[in-house]
Structure 1
Amino acid sequence: MASLGLLGSSLDWQYKTIPNNISCLSSIGEQCRFSRGKSLGGTTAINHMLYIRGNRYDYDRMNISGWTWKDLEPYFLRYEGLQILDQYPASSRKYHNSNGTMKLEYFDDPRNPWHTRTVEGLKQLNIPFNKDLNGEYQIGVTKVAGYVYKGERMSTARGYLARNDVKKNLKVAKNAFCTEVVIDDDNIARGVTVVQNLQKVTIYARIEIVLSAGTIGTPQILMQSGVGPADHLQEMGISVRSNLPVGNDMSDHHLPVVIVKVDHGGLVDSLVGLTSKAPQVLQYLASRSGPLASNSLQDIVTLINTNCYDFDLRQYSGNSSLCELADMQIIQSYIDKGLVALAKPLVKQAIGFNDQVLDQIEKANENHGLIIFSPMVLQPYSRGTVRLASIDPLQPPAIFANYLGDERDVEQMVKSITFLEHLMKTQIFKKHKASILHLNLPGCPAYKCGRVEYWRCYARHMTYSGYHAVGTCALTRVVDEQLRVYGVKNLRVADLSVLKNIIRGNTASVSIAIGERIVDFLTEEDNP
């Protein structure tokens, strides 16, 4: 639960979405939580730190010159500093680098028995153990490497800004909010306007401007600058500089939060039990090691194609080339018995569910440990938008995530939950009395009255974001192959908003590769 205290904190933009009345129905105000990092390092400062690059096909299918896997692989390898390469199979060596600036390691052992039990249960469903989900094959269950080094988070701020060469050549203006790009009458970007310490300042560029404010922040800045859908800009009273589909076609991994009750194993029984963790605190402070340097159960990651799972035989086959393309990723976290009651405000802040749901979770946690399963829909059909909510650039934008706007995503969630039901029936999970918590949700039939209809309704209530949104300033639609904004000279975008399709993995990996990619674009033009 490494990120629990960070989500919803002052380090989080705490964006909220516009309700679509068919998803996130049990979130506070029916607004889906949309966390983004508000600090140096962006979301790498608050995320789960998992390193999964996606399938090679994800990049090839964009069919854009310079953006295939063959084109991008050198940029992944450029930044990758995998410190555990000697623990990987020989077949993985060609897919990795150990000398990059972003150090990657395994998380420490959480000393939670469900770490190994989860893997054992998945194996009983014939899910293969795959030592390296970033290697030759992507399918299987594994203990994944993460953005962690010597027991501490490896954010991009730590990886890049701490370097001596960067400190020498880069100036960072902290607590500065970019409000717009200054574009002259010839549609040439000349600088940016920022607000810092309540003062508005214009900073002019000598050569070019690169926006890297993310899938939400970048389209907001562009639209405030007159770059975006003409009808929306005119409605907001903003002069149109370039009529582009900025903010359209947003895609994001989303999931139904599934809560599993297990025997608690005596991990934490009370406030007295919490004091038993004092040695772990001392170990972490002294050596940055031990359970507090772990990522709970979150580093156990499963990637499968549910179309290759036989729901009658309850076995994974993976007997065709299509089975290599995952459509579901499962991660999980653990809540000790009694912890929800002890830290209810923190839990509510982090997950954003309403009191009706939170009270039921707290009740279940009184006598049980809880495993929170997150089966993400990796290739969602639903699409959302980002628009301006106000002409005041300091106000958050209007985010219409539109999760489950396409019924096919609901059906995928039901398949994912069915898979988890089968996992509960494996020998190891039955031995430890694991069972899915059937929440009482408004408008949903009782589980015993209709299992499939209950799960469809459940998915619409317990929807949650994977915080992996992409596509709002997409390649070939808003920017060209070298990330230059159409219709505005000397302006580029370099962040996840440029991805045309969402990847089968955790998007921090590709966001860093995009940053490395634009370095070459800029230096190539400086040195033709």
Structure 2
Amino acid sequence: MKEFDYIIAGAGSAGCVVAARLIEANAGSVLLLEAGEKDSSLFHKIPATVVKVFQQKSWPYMTLPQPECDNREMLIAQGKVLGGGSSVNGMIYIRGQKQDYDDWKTIWGCEGWGYENVLPFFKRAEANESLGDTYHGEAGAVPVSENRYRHPLTQTCIRACQQMGLPYTNDFNGASQEGTGFYQTTTKNGERASTSQTYLKSVINNPNLTVQTDALVHKVNIEGDVATGVVYSIKEGEAITAKARKEVIISSGAFGSPKILMLSGIGPAEHLSAVGIAPKIDLPVGKNFHDHQHMSINATTKEDISIFNEDKGLSAIKHMMQWMTTRSGLLTSNILEGGAFIDSENVGRPDIQFHFLPLLDNFDNTPGEKPEAEGHGVSIKVGHLRSKSRGEIRLKSNNPSDLVEIDAQILSHPDDVKSQIRAVQMGLKAMEQPALKSIIKKVVEPNNIAIDDTDALETFVRQNIKTVYHPGGTCKLGSSRSDSVIDLELKVHGTKNLRVVDLSICPQIPSGNTNAVAMMIGERGAHFTLNSSN
């Protein structure tokens, strides 16, 4: 038996934030548990090696076969390492739109979570090197930087989007998200700036902090309605019980957090009974699952101008030497250097996001689904931002080592199909602009489909849609136990001393990349914990 004031299950983008803020406030002793390893590999530092670390340091989550997507099983891997997603992601710093959070407040009934409520916590997290107006923080824990390396193909895509009529922007997180430009990234001096290397590193030597990696949390111990601690194991060893004098905070993500709650007896009573777990609190844990999806519009180029093969042979050695000696060059790129947000329905807020890639993209395909793309090319990842489809996360068994079952229900809402078709049409329109058309040899995905052939585009969408790795919603925020899991201060309904603090709380995932959102939630979770009344 070990005792701590706080136990945090998950050292990801939110969990590291909570741990650091509790230690900084001298709130007591903290045990931070992480199922993955330390982020000690050099590849975690090098921005351009994002694909390598993502493949090596992630949970291999797969969906069930998706009926609306040609019965394909889809990869939705999630970070399994100190820093979680922030240690393996594309480092893009996007918060979403003001309307997203105002929708949380007005449509989803989450009073106190409007834009005016969350903006101070975004700013608290952020140390922006070039933006310092009403919308940005300059002294936060995480550096937000301009990308120093800008590939010519990224610049060409940005120019093409301007030719479509989009304004150029240097701030997707300010007064308006709409436009095209280069993304700011969570990097500094040519290195990735994860929450592990920023928040956690700032307190790592504090005697009140204990960080345990390779630690799989089995369940939360609950006595009556009070969370008293957790059971976990290290490298599949014997079960260890740790006691929490003040709070247990679950920050294990859209799949890990509902899993831990359900293994603890908190969740849909009928489902828990079916897998041999005695229900303690009947809540809709695992419901409301949704994610951002995208398709890749791929085009070969007339000349060898992409980064294809730059990771091989003498080129790879040259780039590594440049990065090692000067922290400059191609390896400082997050590859997804630029993008766009488009209001495809003319309703006053963007609903489509682009990511530009200076190569042919096939990184997110289900393993074995497609051959690797060969040759030089350019890609635009296109996707709709506000899914209406909802799936569910379930336990496969009562064994903590089993991954969850992901019944994603992608494209189950007909509006999502129409929206993703529009996204593809926007991507094809960009490829037709003079800047891109002059360098493109052939659009190979989708191949020979006219921009107005909606039937063929629908088939393409169903056959090619894939995740952007932004899952959330499975421990939904709200005021009612009938349709939410946690209350407006992130406490699990019907319990004491138990919170969930990560992207699983989102009633609707904000419009864009989600790492900045996870950090904001971590900041708010720490604030609520430090100012708790119970």
Q: TM-score range by the shorter chain?
A: 0.7 to 0.9
Alpha-carbon shift at residue 51 of structure 1 (Å): 0.5
Q: Which of 142, 156, 159 is matched with 1:102 structurally?
A: 142
Q: Which of 486, 493, 514 is matched with 1:486 structurally?
A: 493
Q: Does 1:23 align with 2:77?
A: no
Instruction: Tell me what 1:505 maps to.
Output: 512
Give SS of 1:286's match: helix
Q: Does 1:158 align with 2:165?
A: no
Instruction: Tell me what 1:149 maps to.
Output: 188
Q: Does 1:35 align with 2:77?
A: yes
Instruction: Tell me what 1:352 maps to.
Output: 365
Instruction: Tell me what 2:120 maps to.
Output: 74
Instruction: Tell me what 1:380 maps to.
Output: 387
Contact residue 23 and residue 404 of structure 1 kept, 8 A: yes
Give SS of 2:406's match: strand
Q: Does 1:13 align with 2:59?
A: yes
Alpha-carbon shift at residue 66 of structure 1 (Å): 2.0
- One-letter amino acid of the structure 1 residue matched with residue 85 of structure 2: T
Q: Distance in 2 between matches of 1:272 and 1:38?
A: 24
Q: Distance in 2 between matches of 1:45 and 1:276?
A: 25
Q: Does 1:401 align with 2:408?
A: yes
Contact residue 263 and residue 398 of structure 2 kept, 8 A: yes
Alpha-carbon shift at residue 452 of structure 1 (Å): 2.2
Q: Does 1:196 align with 2:216?
A: no
Instruction: Tell me what 1:3 maps to.
Output: 50
Write out aligned runs for 1:332-371 (5 A): 332-335=356-359, 350-353=363-366, 355=368, 357-358=370-371, 361-362=373-374, 365=375, 369-371=376-378
Q: Deviations over 1:435-469 (max 9, x none)?
A: 321468xxxxx847993222111111111111111
The two structures, once aligned, show a CA RMSD in angstroms of 2.3
Contact residue 268 and residue 274 of structure 1 kept, 8 A: no
Write out aligned runs for 1:246-395 (5 A): 246-266=285-305, 274-296=313-335, 298-308=336-346, 322-323=347-348, 325-335=349-359, 350-353=363-366, 355=368, 357-358=370-371, 361-362=373-374, 365=375, 369-395=376-402
Alpha-carbon shift at residue 270 of structure 1 (Å): 6.8
How many equivalent residue pairs?
477
Gaps of 5+ in 2: 1-47, 479-483
Judged with a 3 Å threshold, the aligned counterparts in structure 2 of structure 1 residues 196 and 80 are, in CA distance, closer, same or farther, namely same
Alpha-carbon shift at residue 187 of structure 1 (Å): 2.0
The structure with more helix, counted as a fraction of residues: 1
Alpha-carbon shift at residue 241 of structure 1 (Å): 0.8
Judged with a 3 Å threshold, the aligned counterparts in structure 2 of structure 1 residues 271 and 48 are, in CA distance, closer, same or farther, namely closer
Alpha-carbon shift at residue 390 of structure 1 (Å): 1.2
Instruction: Tell me what 1:171 maps to.
Output: 210
Contact residue 24 and residue 462 of structure 1 kept, 8 A: no
Q: Which of 222, 243, 252 is matched with 1:183 structurally?
A: 222
Give SS of 1:158's match: helix
Contact residue 24 and residue 32 of structure 1 kept, 8 A: no
Q: Deviations over 1:145-174 (max 9, x none)?
A: 111111111111011111047734321111
Q: Which of 92, 96, 103 is matched with 1:61 structurally?
A: 103
Q: Distance in 1 between matches of 2:507 and 2:450?
A: 42
**Structure 1 stretch displaced more, 241-250 or 452-461:** 452-461
Give SS of 1:81's match: strand
Contact residue 32 and residue 463 of structure 1 kept, 8 A: no
- One-letter amino acid of the structure 2 residue matched with residue 458 of structure 1: F
Instruction: Tell me what 1:457 maps to.
Output: 459
Give SS of 2:154's match: helix
Judged with a 3 Å threshold, the aligned counterparts in structure 2 of structure 1 residues 48 and 480 are, in CA distance, closer, same or farther, namely same
Q: Distance in 2 between matches of 1:270 and 1:496?
A: 35
**Structure 1 stretch displaced more, 246-255 or 160-169:** 160-169
Instruction: Tell me what 1:468 maps to.
Output: 470
Q: Which of 157, 175, 181 is matched with 1:136 structurally?
A: 175
Q: Distance in 2 between matches of 1:478 and 1:268?
A: 45
Q: Distance in 2 between matches of 1:249 and 1:226?
A: 19
Contact residue 17 and residue 31 of structure 1 kept, 8 A: yes
Q: Distance in 1 between matches of 2:70 and 2:217?
A: 31
Q: Which of 75, 83, 93 is matched with 1:51 structurally?
A: 93
Alpha-carbon shift at residue 12 of structure 1 (Å): 0.6
Contact residue 95 and residue 517 of structure 2 kept, 8 A: yes
Judged with a 3 Å threshold, the aligned counterparts in structure 2 of structure 1 residues 133 and 202 are, in CA distance, closer, same or farther, namely same
Judged with a 3 Å threshold, the aligned counterparts in structure 2 of structure 1 residues 153 and 379 are, in CA distance, closer, same or farther, namely same
Gaps of 5+ in 1: 86-91, 309-321, 341-346, 441-445
Q: Distance in 1 between matches of 2:458 and 2:92?
A: 29
Q: Distance in 2 between matches of 1:381 and 1:420?
A: 21
Alpha-carbon shift at residue 351 of structure 1 (Å): 2.9
Instruction: Tell me what 1:114 maps to.
Output: 153
Give SS of 1:172's match: strand
Q: Which of 510, 518, 524 is matched with 2:525 structurally?
A: 518
Contact residue 154 and residue 358 of structure 2 kept, 8 A: no
Q: Distance in 1 between matches of 2:121 and 2:205?
A: 18
Judged with a 3 Å threshold, the aligned counterparts in structure 2 of structure 1 residues 277 and 220 are, in CA distance, closer, same or farther, namely closer
Instruction: Tell me what 1:437 maps to.
Output: 444
Alpha-carbon shift at residue 269 of structure 1 (Å): 7.9
Judged with a 3 Å threshold, the aligned counterparts in structure 2 of structure 1 residues 274 and 453 are, in CA distance, closer, same or farther, namely farther
Instruction: Tell me what 1:314 maps to.
Output: none
Q: Deviations over 1:171-223 (max 9, x none)?
A: 11111000101112x22111100011312101011111111101110000000
Q: Distance in 1 between matches of 2:377 and 2:519?
A: 34
Give SS of 1:371's match: strand
Give SS of 2:206's match: helix
- One-letter amino acid of the structure 1 residue matched with residue 371 of structure 2: L
Q: Deviations over 1:211-236 (max 9, x none)?
A: 11011100000001110011111111
Judged with a 3 Å threshold, the aligned counterparts in structure 2 of structure 1 residues 141 and 67 are, in CA distance, closer, same or farther, namely same
Q: Deviations over 1:120-142 (max 9, x none)?
A: 11111111111211111110001
Q: Deviations over 1:66-123 (max 9, x none)?
A: 21111111111111011223xxxxxx6111111111011122214x321211111111
Alpha-carbon shift at residue 518 of structure 1 (Å): 1.6
**Structure 1 stretch displaced more, 161-170 or 486-495:** 161-170
Detail structure 1 runs of 4+ shifted over 6 Å in the superposition.
268-273
Alpha-carbon shift at residue 8 of structure 1 (Å): 2.8
- One-letter amino acid of the structure 1 residue matched with residue 53 of structure 2: L
- One-letter amino acid of the structure 1 residue matched with residue 86 of structure 2: T
Q: Distance in 2 between matches of 1:264 and 1:24?
A: 35
Alpha-carbon shift at residue 434 of structure 1 (Å): 4.7
